[in-house]
Every structure is written in C-alpha cells, then in structure tokens.
Structure 1
Amino acid sequence: MSRSSTGAVASGPGRPGRRAAAALAAVTAAAVGLGVLAGAPAYAVGAGRPGGQQGAGTAASVTRAALDPSLVAGRGADPGFAEQEAEDAATDGTVIGPSTAAYTLPAEASGRSAVTLEPGQYVEFTLPSAANAINVRYSIPDAPAGGGITSPLDVTLAAKSGGAVQGRRTMTLTSQFAWLYNQYPFSNDPDADLLAPDQWITECACVPDQTTPAPVVSKPFRPNHFYDEQRLLLGRTYQAGEKVRLTVPKGAAATTVDLLDSQVVAAPKVDLRAVDVLAFGADPTGRRDSAPALDKAIAFARRAHLKVYIPPGTFQVNRHIVVDDITIEGAGNWYTVIKGHQTTLDASASGGPAHTGVGFYGKDAADGGSSDVHLSGFAIEGDVRDRVDTDQVNGIGGALSDSSISGLYIQHTKAGMWLDGPMHDLTITGNEIVDQTADGINFHTGVTDSVVRDNFVRNTGDDGLAMWSDQVEDARDTFDHNTVQTPVLANGIALYGGTDNTVSGNLVADPIREGSGIQVGSRFGAEAFTGHLSITGNTTVRAGTYDLNWNIGIGAIWFYALERSISADIEVTGDDFLDNTYNAIMLVSDYPVKDLYSITGVHFKDIRVDGTGTSVVSARAAGGATFQDVRARNVGAVGVNNCGAFDFTPAGSEFTLTDLGGNTGGGTTGDWLAPWELPNTITCDDRPAVVPPPAPSAW
C-alpha cells in the first residue's frame, strides 16, 4: 500500500531503550546486489534446496512457488502455465543463493535462488507439457547512471533427443523498469544521496525521529526490485520433453534467470457482434494514439447496447480510459495489448498527481462511481519506472460497482488495480499482475461484497493483495485462491481493518523485506477490525522477513496493533506455514504504545508449521490467543517466545496462550506449547539465534 499514508512510528517493539538506528550498520554491498547485505545477521542464508542438486537437473521439473506441487495442492491460483525454476534446470552458469538477505539477487528470486549466466553460458529447460509460449523472469544490470539497459537473450528450441534445433528466437531484455535505490519512496539514481538524511535508515516514511549527524552510507544504497519478465510466442506448439535453451550471446550483459513459465495459448478470440475499435480509427500497430478511438467506440457501444471488441494488436494509450456501463473484451491478453507512455502533468497542480498513464478507470466515488463495467481478455502495459504515491498510474482504478475484471495481464504500472471506494460487488478473477512499483490489488476505502479469486501476482513493489479500510471499512470481501510471489516490499496479503472479511486458499511465497506472508495490521489510519475475520486454508512459504526498523525477524503471519487494539473475532484455521525464515506466528505492538493496545480474540486451529528459523509463536504484545491442533516440526528455537508487553511483571507475561489441545511437536523442550509455558510464562529472547530450517516435505 502507499507508505506516504503512514503515521508516526517510533523505535519498535524491542527492549526498552533500544533504537531502530541499530539497523544503520546494515548497508548494501556495492556492485549489482549479488553479495549479501553488509553487516547482515545470521538470517542471510535462508531456505533453499539443500543437497547440492541445483543447476544439475535435466528432468522437466515443475514447481509451484519453488515447491513440489503436491505440498501446495488446492492452494493458490491456476494460472494456466507450468513454472520451472532455473536452479533446477541444466546449466553451465552459476547458481546463486539460497539467501534471504534483502537487496540481493537471490533474495528476490523465486525460491531464493536463480542462475547467473555470463556471455556464452546457458540454462536449458525441458518442457513438462506442450507449449507454444514462454515467459522468462530475469534480471540484467542497470546502466551506470541508472535508467536501465537492454541486452539480447537467445532462445533455442530443440528436439527431445539428438539435439536437433527446431526454432530460434532472440528476446531483447530490459532493466528500464527495474533497479530502484535508496530510502522509500526510492530513486532511480544509483548515486543518489539519502532521500531523508535526517531520518533513521528505515524502509518507509513512518519513523520521523532524527539521528545526528547524518549517517554515511555506501552507494548504490539498497538496490532492489531487480527482476522483470518477458513473454514470447514461439510460433508453433512444442511437445513435452523438448528443450528450451536460454543463452547469453557474446557481448551481451550478464543475465540472471530466475524461472521459465510455459503454456499453450489459445487462438485469438473473435467477436463479430461487438463494436470493433478499428472502425473508429484505433491503430493496432501502436504508432498512433488510440485513446480517442477507444472513447468513440465506447460511446457508440453504450448507445447501441453492445460490447466493445479490441482485436489483436498493440494500441497506444497514454491516459485513462474512463469506463461506465460497458463491456470491453480483447482477443486474449497475449494478443491485445494496451500500451502507454507515462505523461507528465502540469506542475501547477500543486500536491496532485505528477503523471498520468495508461489505465481503465471507473468514475470517482465522489461523482457516483461507475457500475456494470466488464473488462476481459487484454493486456495493460505501462511505462512506470519509479514510485510517486500521488500519481494515478494504475492499470485499473476508480470506483467500479457491480462489475467484473477477468483475464487481464497488467505489467509496469504503479499498482495493478487500486480501487477507491465506497463501491460494491466487484469480481476480479483470472488475472496476472506482475512487475509493479506498488501494490498488486488494493481495496481502498469502503469496498464491500467483492471477490478477488484465482489471480496470479508476482514482483510487486508493495503489498500483493490488500484491503485497506481507510476512513470507511471494507466489509464482506474475499481474497480466495490467489498466488502472490516475491513482493519486494511489504506483505503478500495485507488486511488493514475491516469487518467480516475472508482470506482463503491462497498461496504466498518469498516476501523480501519489511513484511510477511499475511499481515493483520491496525495501522495506516485504518478503521478498527470488527465482526469476524476468517483466514483459512492458506499456505505461506519462506515468509517472514527481517525488519530493519525493529532489527528483528517477524512471522509468516503477523498481527500488528499499532494504532488501535485488535479485538475482533479472528479465526486462523487450516493454514500451512512452511519454511518460515523466522517465526510462523507473530503478535506484536509497537513499543511506545505497548501499554495502550492489545491483541485479543485470535483463534488458531488445525495449523501445520513445517520449519521455523526461530519460534512457532512470538508474542510481543499484551492480550492473548487460543491454540488447538497446531502441529509443528523442525522448529529452530523454543516453541514460544513470549515477551508480552516487555513489562516483565511478577504475574507473568501480559500475553496469554490458551491451550485447547492437540498442539504437538516441534519444540526444543518437547511439544512446542509445553505445559510449563502456559498460560503466560515469560520465555522472552528478544533476538533468538536463527537455525535455517530444512526444505518442506510431505506431512
């Protein structure tokens, strides 16, 4: 979410008197982010694939979030492609990682590992099923002064046996949409001085306390957002067992390949009964601005009560297309591309947006919003290369009630979809959102009775999916069976206030920094949590990052009482927390408000925890929670790290863990929720040693 909205946060929930300035020692290694964070603690080496088999395989291994698909069956989206990790493929390049150290290439890779290729080197994938299209997730260096470069990558398609070449392609990779630096909200300049030299070196604008003198940091400071991805139609269908070899040609830039997606893309959709935008002057070559033609086609279709059809082609659109009471469909998001340049607005509009760009927007809620809008089957490709929180440069925006969005591919906008309510009854299904500088999808301000289901989100610059009850609560919304991978900043799924909402069946993997798999947070000015919140049947993997503001590791799911107490009825049921970098479950309040706010009413039931770097539960707040049938194994530290509100009273911790039975396994002193730790025994270790857990396996 937009961090410009953050309120004042002080030192964090550590020991009395500690300061977040302790994070100053963690400055970035120079060059291209291949090394670990200088001064990083033991968390630098994280989950990966122990056993030394990386980069040596030739089998057509398919993973989901870098896991055996059987471990996440029934969780996450069904995006229609097979995902293969480069570190599992045949290569003569260098496998990097695994590592969870922020500001490094391995940490931002799926599964925390990738393959770096120098000129002349390759990585070769074996197709697990028929495919006529591929997608490559990669990173190439920035230009010395920032702004990105381009570099070729050769694609060779060969037969199952004998190696006979059947096709060749060349992709032109770019880093123009990657490589951000410095403090939030970041810079494109690798040589930039600190954006806020009078502040602690924190990840957001939420810590106003000053440090004197201004710190000295190495440059480039905190490089991040390294990866991008590119899709390629192969021209024909290749069969399972055939090879896709990616080779960096001589003279090209070193290229890090994270993964390959492959799939069969259906033929373009044709709708002869709809209003074709070509009839109104739209240019499918992308040379001329097609925005006026789209406006005319939409106006005509509304009068005639018809759909709008956008055929195959690339259509240049450099501003918002305002939609209301209209259906717009493309030929499929591999064929119909709405592509735009970011445009600078009049600087005299003080405090307002600095830019506009391509996007489909409902009318503002203050003007009544839009309704009965249905968008499907096309791609939106923006030109956003930095982050300006006041800009409305999102793929989808405004207020859309009684509407649907499906089958879109959204890349290089600020947020994929940022919906500003109040609004209701929106359904978002089957979309792919990648390479954003901010959120994937955000329900902001009074979004109600709406569903986000079966969407795939990767490489966002902030929360992957968020409900933000800013001024007006979000209510009765559902995030169901989505996949969120590698959010560079913040959380996979974030809930900021609201009532009667549901998060179910999702798969969240590899958050990078200052966030986790799932967050329930009273922060950013959100309305209180009320009613019932259900978090059920989700899986997180390699979640829980190291928070530089607090200088501690956080949980795969974390509850954060910053601005209010959290006291709604919250059920966390049937969730799996796998390969947790630190804690599986964390309940925390910020230190300056630790005696004001508490966390109560949270119930954990039928939970599986497979691997923690530290504890199953870390409690750093007042309040309490219940636990039933929480099974754990491969726990790196004591099962419960209960610091409460850090008052260390004779009566014990201010946080009570209630054992409802069936809580077994995992602890270094017996079952993780051992009887002598109940109900509120202080077992506080402010920063326990990290023991990297083994890779998850079948339960």
Structure 2
Amino acid sequence: MARWSGRLSWRAAVAVAAVTATLGLGVVSGGTALAGTGATGASTPAGTGATGTSTPVVTRAGLDPSLVAGRGADVDFAEQEAENAATDGTVIGPDRSAYTLPAEASGRKAVKLTPGQYVEFTLPSAANAITVRYSIPDAPNGGGITAPLAVTVNGGGKRTMTLTSQYAWLYNQYPFSNDPDAGLLHPDWWITECACVPAATTPPPVITTPFRPSHFYDEQRLLLGRTHRAGDKVRLTVPTGSNAAWTVIDLLDSQLVGRPHVNLVAANVLAFGADPSGRRDSAAAFDRAIAFAQRKHLKVHLPPGTYQVNRHIIVDNVTIEGAGSWYTIIKGREVTLDTPAPDGSVHTGVGFYGKEAKDGGSHNVHLSGFAIEGDVRERVDTDQVNGIGGAMSDSTIDGLHIRHTKVGMWFDGPMTGLRITDSVIVDQIADALNFHTGVTDSVVSNNFVRNTGDDGLAMWSEKTANAGNTFDHNTVQTPVLANGIAVYGGTDNTVSNNLVADPVREGSAIHVGSRFGAEPFTGKLRITGNTTVRAGTYELNWKIGLGSIWFYALDKNIDADIQVTGDHYLDSTYNAIMMVSEWSVKDLYSIPNVRFKDIRVDGTGTSVVSARVKGAASFENVDARNVGAVGVNNCGSFNFPPTGSEFSLTDLGGNDGGGTTGPWLAPWELPNTITCDDRPPVVAPPAPSPW
C-alpha cells in the first residue's frame, strides 16, 4: 500500500538490526542478530580459489523447483542464484535480519565481489538475454553512484553493463530519505533504538546514522546479441578500475527472447512523430496515435525503440501493443510540477492512466508487450507516479515489464472486469500492484514481482469494498517492506496458487488485515494452494516474530467465512500461522472463524500456530515437521482467565507431526489451553525437502 501516510505509524517502532561491514556502513548501535536466523552479515570466504560449481543450478525462490511445483508464475526465464555459481568472491549470508544485504537477497544469500573478482553462471538452456540482480554502494552523501560490470560468454564478446545505485538505498523512518546523514524524520514517534520518543526525551538520544538503511538491490536486463547454447558460461566480472568498493551479485535470470512483434495495419506511433531513439519527448505523438486509432477502430503499435514520455498517457477504449517488453521501452523522467495537482501530486512521470473513477473511468483498454521505466527515487505518497493508474474496466494488461516507478499498477475504483497477466514488476519504491477501493471481478494471474518497497500484491478496500477478485499463480519475491500478498477487507476474494518468498521487514508472505480504514471482511475469503518460503519477519515493536501467514484484527473483527486450504509453509523463520490483535484493542476485536485444511508446514523457527487475540480456528489435515517450539503458542487476548485462553482451537482430525516437543497439536492444548510463550528460543529448521 502506498498512498496513506498514516498507515505506517506502527512502523515507527522498527528497530535497527546490526548493519555490518558487508554494507560498508559500520554498526548501528543497539542492533542484535535474531536468534536462529544466522549471525548478522555472516559470510563464507571464498578461500584460495573459486568456489561454487560449473553445473547449472536452477531454482525457484531459491529452492529446488520440485518443492514449489504448480505454485507461482510460469515464467520464461531460468533463475540461478549467485551463491550456487562459480566465483572467486565471497558468499554472504544466510541472514534474515533486516537492514542487511543478505536479508534482501533472494534465498538470503548472495556473492560479494571486489574489483577484479567474478561470478560465473553456466546456462541451463539456450538464451539470448539475461537479467542481473545486484547491489553497489550508495554515494557518501546519498543519491547513488554508477559502476561498470563486464559480461562475457565463454570468455569472449565482452559487454559492459553500467550498474547504478541511484534507485536504491533508502534510509530513516517512513516515508524514508535518500540522505544517509538525515536526522529523524519523525522525532515525535516512538523509536525502539532508544525505547523512547526522542522529541520528549531530555537529553535527546543520539541516533546513529545512516539510520535504518534498506532497499539495496536493483536489476538490469541485457540482450546478448546472439543465442548462446546450454552449457555456455556467462561471467560477470567487476573491472579492476571500478569505483565501486564492492559489487554484490544476487542472481542471474537467463531466457530466450523471441523476435519483435510487428503489426502492419495498426496506427504506428512513428507515423505520428514518436522518436524511438528517446532523444525527443514522444508523449504528444502517443496522444495523436491513440486519437487516430480510436477514430479508425485500429490498434496502436509501438515498434522497437526507447520512447521518452514524461507524463501520463490517458487511455480509454484503445489497444496499445508493443513489440515485446525487451524491445519497446517507454522511459521517462520524474517531473516536478509547478503547483500541486488536485490529487496532491507534486510530481508527474511516465505512466498509462485510465480516467478517474469520478469521471466514469476508462473501459476497453488493452495494453501489452512493452516496458515502462520510471525515474522515481523517493516515496511521496500523494504522487501519482505509477506505471499504470486510474480506473480501467473491462480491460486487459499483458506482458508488461515495469520498474523504477512508485507503484507498478495502482487502481482507484470503482471499476470492474480487469485482467492482468504475464507481467513483471520489479524495483518499486512502494507496491507492485494495488486494487484500491471498489475493484470488482478482476484477476491478477501469472505475474512476477521482485523487490517492492511495500506490499507486493494488495487489495485495499478503503471506503468501498473490493469484491470477487482473484490473485492466482503469481510469484512475489523479496518485498523489502510489508507483505508479499495482502488483503485489507473486502468480499468474496481469492488468493490462490501463489509463491511468496523472503519478506524482509514489517510484514510477511500472506496477510489478512482489518486495518488502514478498510471496509470489513464479509462473504468469503479463500486462501488456497499457496506456498511461502523463508517467511516471517521480526516485529521489533512487539518483539515477536510474525507468521508466514498472519491475520491482524486492528480496526474491526475479522469474522467472514475464511478458509485456508492446501497452503505449504516452508522454512518459516518464526511461526507458520499467526492470529493477532494490537494490545490497545485486544478486548474489542476478534478473529472467530478461520478454517485450515490440508496444510503442510515444513520447518518453523518457533510454533506452528501463534494466537494473540480472542477468537477461534479449526484445523484438519495440517501436517507439520521440524517444528522448533511447542506447536501452539496460545496467549488469547492476554487476560489469562481461569477458564482458559480466549482463543480456541478445534481439531477436526488428521493433524500430524511436530517437532522435538511432541505433536504440534497435542490433546492437552485443546480447546483453549493457555500456552503463552511469545518468545521461545528460535530453532532454525533444516532446509525444506520433498514431503
């Protein structure tokens, strides 16, 4: 979620974990490593020679693909983690502590290179294009640097990628700063580093800067110029003269990109004055091509090229097709407005927007086959600087690649009948996608999301309920802030068959929240067939770990018909399932009726279920193994009545397995035995394996 600044007041209490020498930042006082998650900034030295293997190791979310089969997006690239490749660099991680480079890496590991060092990947299949996910240092005073990375295949055909940290490295409290030396943005907020409100403390505490660094990674794509065979070796080398003291390589995606799409009978933007070199602004030419296509009932075609667009392109009743997201790139600068817009924006930038809902919205919009590259480097919640925006009913979005915008796609309803498929959204300052206010009967399917600065995919029912929507077969990796997939209120929505991995802080993989002023949950909510990997972050205000899936009753009860069926929770950092409320409203709201069925839990640092709210849940065929603590942490709403916890668990049968403490759902825990131990020792589980 991205536009309501008030939503993050609870985030003000996030404390800093140790910021290590891996970041080149020294240590922030008061930081500690989380038990059971690996030493902060831990690294494995490369030794005297190269480590890793020349045998290609293909993963999905850092795991053997067989462990997540049928879950997530069916993508056309092969993921290879740098820590599995041949390198003379240093493997950093694993680590799940926020504000560290390993924690934000896919699989919680990466490879750190100094000038002259390399990492080499062996192609698992034919490829003519690669994507490199990386991090380099910030400039001393913020704002980022650029640095080269040499790319060779089988030792030849050298190309140079120019890496940048201009879109990374945020600091401080929400909504964050690009200045590593900035003082507190909100000295009137509670700060866990000093356990105080700094503005109300005499003498004021010393907060070490840079304060809470995050959002370290970026990624770049490169067409290799020819097709290379399986077994060919792609080497990434940091030149000896690089001005980057270190370069971290997280992963390489390789793929075989097809030929550009051509449509000879469409309204070609070149005929209306668009400049494919990107030197001149093409926004007006796009407008002319769209108007012509609407009159003549034609599609709009965007041939290969890079087109400069520095404002919104308003779309309604039009089909716009690019040559493919590798070939057609719509790129724009962020522009400061002379006066704020009526919606509060102080900037504009590249984006395709439907008309506002209050003006009837747009209909019959179809966008496909192009990339949108923004220039957003700071978070301003009132800004409409999203890749796609407005209201679009009865419309489709397919095959887009969006990066460096605030939110990839933000829709303000009411609107209905939108389908978003086969798109990639990466490196966002805030969400990847948000259905905001009255979005109905819409589908988000087979999309890939990585490195968001807020929720990956969200449904936010502010003012008007979202209803009848489905998030299905999407992959969400490494959301730096908040959750992989979040549902805030609404009616009859579905989250199914998704793969969510490596949330970093202040959220987890799947979240159901009655908060941020959302309309209540009503009707049905179905969460089915999802897999989470290495999920669950440490909430430093509460000083507890969040569940891989967590339900949070903050504003209202969560009392709809909720069924969680067929989910797999793999390598959960803390508990797999969490029901929670805020202390100040613990006796007001409840979560009375969630049903869990056919669930697999493979590894928890603590419990299978943590209940910190009044209510009830039932469990049927929930199988667990490698459970690090007692199976159920049941605190209820912390009144500890003699009759037992205010949260009841019902055993519907078939609940098997557990850990060293015995069965995870033991008879003595039912229905409402108080077993309140919020902070047991964290026992890191073994890596997931075939069930």
Contact 1:43 1:101 in 2 (8 A): no
Q: What is the match of residue 326 of structure 1?
A: 318
Q: What is the match of residue 34 of structure 2?
A: 41
Q: What is the match of residue 688 of structure 2?
A: 696
Change (3 A) 1:591 1:9: farther
Q: What is the match of residue 280 of structure 2?
A: 288
Say if 2:56 is the partner of 1:60.
Answer: yes
Q: What is the match of residue 535 of structure 1?
A: 527
Q: Tell me the distance in 1 between the aligned counterparts of 2:477 and 2:597.
A: 25
Q: What is the match of residue 218 of structure 2?
A: 228
C-alpha displacement at 1:197, in angstroms? 1.3
TM-score (norm 2): 0.95
Name which of 216, 219, 233 aligns with 2:206: 216
Unaligned runs of 5+ in 1: 13-19, 159-164
Q: Tell me the distance in 1 between the aligned counterparts of 2:104 and 2:518.
A: 29
What percent identity do the matched residue pairs reach?
A: 73
Name which of 113, 124, 129 aligns with 1:128: 124
Q: Tell me the distance in 1 between the aligned counterparts of 2:15 and 2:153.
A: 48
What are the within-5 Å matches in structure 2 for residues 66-81 of structure 1?
66-81=62-77
Say if 2:113 is the partner of 1:117.
Answer: yes
Q: Tell me the distance in 1 between the aligned counterparts of 2:8 and 2:385.
A: 27
Name which of 451, 454, 467 aligns with 2:446: 454
Say if 2:437 is the partner of 1:445.
Answer: yes
Change (3 A) 1:55 1:98: farther
Once the two structures are overlaid, the 10-residue window that deviates more, 26-35 or 444-453, is 26-35
Q: Tell me the distance in 2 between the aligned counterparts of 1:683 and 1:635.
A: 16
Contact 2:44 2:92 in 1 (8 A): no
Q: Tell me the distance in 2 between the aligned counterparts of 1:51 and 1:639.
A: 33
Q: What is the match of residue 104 of structure 1?
A: 100
Q: Tell me the distance in 1 between the aligned counterparts of 2:312 and 2:483.
A: 28
Q: Tell me the distance in 1 between the aligned counterparts of 2:613 and 2:40.
A: 28
Contact 1:182 1:192 in 2 (8 A): yes
What are the within-5 Å matches in structure 2 for residues 169-184 of structure 1?
169-184=159-174
C-alpha displacement at 1:211, in angstroms? 5.0
Q: Tell me the distance in 1 between the aligned counterparts of 2:229 and 2:26.
A: 38
Q: What is the match of residue 549 of structure 1?
A: 541
Q: What is the match of residue 4 of structure 1?
A: 4
Q: Tell me the distance in 2 between the aligned counterparts of 1:39 and 1:493.
A: 28
Q: Deviations over 1:326-368 (max 9, x none)?
A: 0000000000000000000124558811100000000000000
Greater RCO (Cα-Cα under 8 Å, separation 6 or more)? 1
Q: Tell me the distance in 2 between the aligned counterparts of 1:137 and 1:29.
A: 21
Three-state SS of the structure 1 residue aligned to 2:549 is: strand
Change (3 A) 1:459 1:236: same
C-alpha displacement at 1:600, in angstroms? 1.3
C-alpha displacement at 1:6, in angstroms? 3.5
TM-score (norm 1): 0.94
Q: What is the match of residue 86 of structure 1?
A: 82
Letter matched to residue 666 of structure 1: G
Contact 2:472 2:497 in 1 (8 A): yes
C-alpha displacement at 1:668, in angstroms? 3.2
What are the within-5 Å matches in structure 2 for residues 255-334 of structure 1?
255-334=247-326
Change (3 A) 1:666 1:687: same
C-alpha displacement at 1:624, in angstroms? 0.5
Change (3 A) 1:34 1:603: farther
Q: Deviations over 1:187-236 (max 9, x none)?
A: 00001001011211379xxx999752443211111110000000000000
- State the superposition RMSD in angstroms: 2.2
Q: Deviations over 1:463-494 (max 9, x none)?
A: 00000000000000000000000000000000
Letter matched to residue 186 of structure 2: A
Contact 2:16 2:212 in 1 (8 A): no
Contact 1:123 1:246 in 2 (8 A): yes
C-alpha displacement at 1:549, in angstroms? 2.4
Three-state SS of the structure 2 residue aligned to 1:555 is: coil
Q: Deviations over 1:483-536 (max 9, x none)?
A: 000000000000000010000000000000000000000000000000000000
Q: Tell me the distance in 2 between the aligned counterparts of 1:97 and 1:32.
A: 12
Letter matched to residue 369 of structure 1: G
Letter matched to residue 248 of structure 1: V
Three-state SS of the structure 2 residue aligned to 1:83 is: strand
Name which of 23, 29, 38 aligns with 1:32: 23
Q: Tell me the distance in 1 between the aligned counterparts of 2:340 and 2:378.
A: 21
Q: Tell me the distance in 2 between the aligned counterparts of 1:4 and 1:304.
A: 41
Contact 1:544 1:556 in 2 (8 A): yes
Change (3 A) 1:647 1:423: same
C-alpha displacement at 1:298, in angstroms? 0.2
Change (3 A) 1:202 1:492: farther
Change (3 A) 1:175 1:36: same
